[in-house]
């Protein structure tokens, strides 16, 4: 069975990959819309689990705070794929920053798990 941190790191990375507009990753956008929405829902559920389960039990600890931040970022990133037309303009304008932060969280989780 995979550790939950690994699942979260992969979910974060998937969220970044399906949401980014970089030309290098444009081939991912060619996947069926239903597949992309399915991945976005998985990212959303992972973010909800991070915020409402792990972070709520470990606030004040490093990994509890990391779970809160990464969970909120995963929820927001999933909304970019699920309901982009309903997001406020401010969220659209900070999309590159949100993706960079989520990528950083994924690297933090992945690097820590690798070193265990």
Question: How do the domains of the chain map onto residue ranges?
Answer: 4-114
pLDDT-derived band at 44, boundaries 50, 70, 90: very high
In this structure, of 22-31, 37-46, 71-80, 100-109, the range with the lowest mean pLDDT score is: 22-31
pLDDT at residue 35 in the model: 87
pLDDT at residue 26 in the model: 73
Q: What percent of the chain has pLDDT over 90?
A: 78
DSSP string, 62-93: HHHHHHHHHHHHHHHHHHHHH-GGGS-HHHHH
The closest alpha carbon to 111, from 2, 6, 31, belongs to 6
């Amino acid at each position: 069975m995979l550790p939950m941190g690994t699942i979260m790191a992969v979910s974060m990375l998937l969220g970044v990959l399906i949401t980014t507009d970089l030309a290098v990753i444009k081939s991912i956008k060619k996947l069926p819309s239903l597949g992309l929405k399915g991945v976005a829902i998985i990212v959303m559920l992972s973010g909800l689990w991070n915020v409402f389960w792990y972070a709520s039990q470990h606030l004040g600890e490093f990994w509890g705070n990391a779970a809160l931040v990464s969970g909120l970022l995963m929820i927001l990133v999933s909304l970019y794929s699920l309901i982009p037309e309903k997001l406020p303009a401010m969220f659209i304008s900070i999309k590159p920053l949100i993706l960079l932060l989520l990528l950083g969280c994924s690297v933090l989780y992945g690097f820590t798990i690798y070193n265990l």
